[in-house]
Structures are given as structure tokens and as C-alpha cells.
Amino acid sequence: MPYLFTSESVSEGHPDKVADQISDNLVDHFLAFDPNSKVACETLVTTGQVVLAGEVKSDTYLDVQTLARDVIRKIGYTKSEYMFEAHSCGVLSAIHEQSPDINQGVERQSAEEQGAGDQGMMFGYATNETENYMPLALDLSHRILKELAAVRRAGERMTYLRPDAKSQVTIEYDDNHRPVRIDSIVVSTQHDDFGDDEMMLATIRQDVIDYIIPAVREQVKPELQGLFTDTITYHVNPTGKFVIGGPHGDTGLTGRKIIVDTYGGKGAHGGGAFSGKDPSKVDRSAAYATRHIAKNLVAAGVADEILVQVSYAIGVAKPTNIYVNTNGSAKVDMTDSEIAQQVSSLFDMRPYAIEQRLKLRNPIYLDTAAYGHMGRQSEVKEITFRNGSGESKTLTVETFTWEKLDYVDRVKSAFGLS
């Protein structure tokens, strides 16, 4: 029987994402000057205020106030009428040293035996319904908001746009779990107060439907473009007005958008947030590693969709389990448990091995903190960092390494696929 499935996304200007980006900017700068830094940094943003808290073990000193303001400015909170502005907001730091009780469970005499930074379970998921092996509803939700942000920054159309926004897409699937149409699209975007409420709403609705959605449609592969029909139900700024937004409209916290960060409710989630954490925290690194596994297995043709789970005990290097679920879509003559055994032999899931395989000790995390940690394009880029002593360092790093299809040939060989 056909069914509907919904996913949402939030923009870089959403208060929770502002908090995520500030936290990850700190992680990047600590790692840039001391790759062995241990960081667990949380951020709270509200009207005119930023609060930084957490635990850090590092040999470098950072001007955390400046780094927080840099992020806020880049996002676009640069006007006093937003009631949250990069130059004038207060920034309070309550960051302190990491507990030695935790650190002794992570660091070992042999680097390869580095223990997991916490207990817990992490999930990775991939599906072949999109080119980036992500669930379609979430992929479209991200694209809508990235297009809104690009238009806002260009400053040529929809000049009333402000940084905060949310989107939501509902897809109808057939009995074979294939998307057949887009049922509804929700877009709520913060905006200037530029007229009476009825006129503002009509203008924003028309611009979203006539300009943003067609631009998103052109970004997806041809076989998915047909899902954009005249029968889509649109809810654009359904409250009627969205002038007050961002941290002034809603307090933001690091790690509160974990479903947006991952698979939009498809697959599963272990509950641990990513942003603000260095890669010794398996909440982050193992979630990336399981995505890498799932994506390479699906791309190799092992199954149409795959969910991978791994779990750890704090201070222990070897995972307590690796689990695979193909949801009945396997294309190889193996049970899911047999596939999991092959995964265990192909991918070393000890924390140190994950860090090395995916190059996670590099400062690559600010880019992950908005529009999803999964389904992104890996690229090599140069980034300049500055510490609190005025030193600068330019590094060449590779982002989103867990999205690379670099294990497809090894997977095909292990599973006897041509």
C-alpha cells in the first residue's frame, strides 16, 4: 500500500544551527593548531547573547569570542534589528579542562589501541534513490534551504530574506518503496517587514513556488524531476508572518538537530550529536564511518538500501557489535549477518583506525554544521585559521571524506560482484 514519508531541514541561520556552527568552528581551530586536541564544546544562543561551555584538552589558546562572532557574521546576522548581531552580542565562555578520568580511557601507549571516547551506538544509512545515496525527502529539504541562502547572499532577488528558515518535504512511495510523487512542501523563511501581512505572504509564496522550487528541480536527476507536479500542496510561511526569528525568536543549542544532521528519520539514530566534538568521540567519528560503509556497499550493488550499526564501551577500542540491515533489499546471496561479518573484515572500526582512514584529525567540521553531515561532496580546500596569540596557519584539508566511494572496488571483490 502506498505511504507518505516526511523529512525536514533547517537553515544555517536557524538558532540551533548557529550554535552548531560556533561549536564546530572552535573544534576546527583547536585541531588546526593542536591535532591531538580533545574537545566537547556546547553553545547556547539567545537574544543578544552567546554562551560557550564544555571541556577541552589542548596545547593551543583561542580567542573564542572572535571565533563565535566570525560565524555569526558569516551566517548573516549583521543588523541590529535582528536583535542578535555579530558585533554587539555578548559572548560568555565557561569552557574548562577535560576530565582526566575520561582522557585516561581514550589515550593509550599504543595509538592503535585508542579507546572510544564514550559508550553508545551509532548508525549509518544509504539508499540508491538519489545520486548522493541519501533519502529523497531530506535531500530536497536541504536543497530548498541552500537555494534560499544562495539567493539571500546574492542580494538580487527576494531581497527581504533573513537568515532563519525551515523546510519540509513529504514524498509518496509505492509498494516497492520507490518515490512516485511529492505530496507537499513546507517552507518557512524569516523576512523583513516590508508591507501589510497579506501582501508579504503573497509575495513570499509566489517567489518560493515560482523561483526557488524550479531551481531545486533542476538540481536533481531527470527521473526525479517528474515528481515536481502541479498537484503539490505548498505551505509557505503558514503562520502568515515570520519577521522575528533567529536566536531572538528561539533559543538555540548545539546538538538539537540530530535528525536533520543525518537521514531525516530514515534508517536510525543512536542519539549522540556531532557538532562541538573532536573525532575521539565516537558519536561523531563512528557515525561518519558507518555512513561510509553503507554508502560504499550500496554503490557497489550489495543492496538497494543499507543500515549499519556499531556500538562501543567507553575506553575500549574494539566495537561491541557491528549490525547490518538491508530491509530485504540485498542483491547478494547472503544473510544480513553474513554481510555484517564481511563488513567487519573490510573496515577496521577501532576509533584510531577510523580517524586515520577518514582523516578526521583535520579541521574539517565547520562545513558539516549546516545542511547535513551526510550526502555532501568531498573536496580539497585551503583554509586559514588564527589562534588567540595572533598566529595564522593555512592548511590544505579534504572535507567529507566519509562520502567518498573509495571502497567500492574492495566491496565488489569481497562480495563477488562484477
- Has 146 been labeled as part of a binding site? no
Flag whether 98 is marked binding.
Answer: yes
**Residue 37: which of 316, 365, 287 has the closest Cα?**
365
Q: How far, in Å, CA of 397 to CA of 201, rounded?
A: 43
**295 has binding-site annotation:** no
**166 annotated among ligand-binding-site residues:** yes
Is 8 one of the annotated binding-site residues?
A: no
Q: What CA–CA distances, in Å, run from 383 to 25, 26, 67, 150, 273? A: 12, 14, 14, 21, 25
Grid cell in block for residue 48: 543578544
Cα 151 from Cα 148, distance rounded (Å) = 5
Q: Which three cell numbers stand for residue 316?
A: 575500549
Write down the H helix ranges in 91-196.
Answer: 100-106, 136-154
Burial 232-257 (b: 16+ CB within 10 A, else e): beeebbeeeebbebbbbbeebbbbbb
Whole-number Å distance between alpha carbons of 278 and 27: 6
> Is 347 annotated as belonging to a binding site?
no
Query: Which of 212, 208, 258 is CA-nearest to residue 236?
Result: 208
242 annotated to bind ligand: yes
Would you tell me the crossing angle of helices 336-346 and 408-415 to the nearest 10 degrees? 130
State the cell numbers at 156: 538580487
- The answer to whether the annotation marks 404 as part of a ligand binding site is no
Question: Is 273 annotated for ligand binding?
Answer: yes
Pairing of strands 321-325, 179-191: unpaired
Is 257 assigned a ligand-binding role in the annotation?
yes
Summarize the annotated binding site as residue ranges. Answer: 14, 16, 42, 55, 98, 164-166, 241-242, 250, 256-257, 273, 277, 281
Summarize the annotated binding site for Mg(2+) as residue ranges. Answer: 16
Summarize the annotated binding site for ATP as residue ranges. Answer: 14, 164-166, 241-242, 250, 256-257, 273, 277
Summarize the annotated binding site for K(+) as residue ranges. Answer: 42
Summarize the annotated binding site for L-methionine as residue ranges. Answer: 55, 98, 250, 281
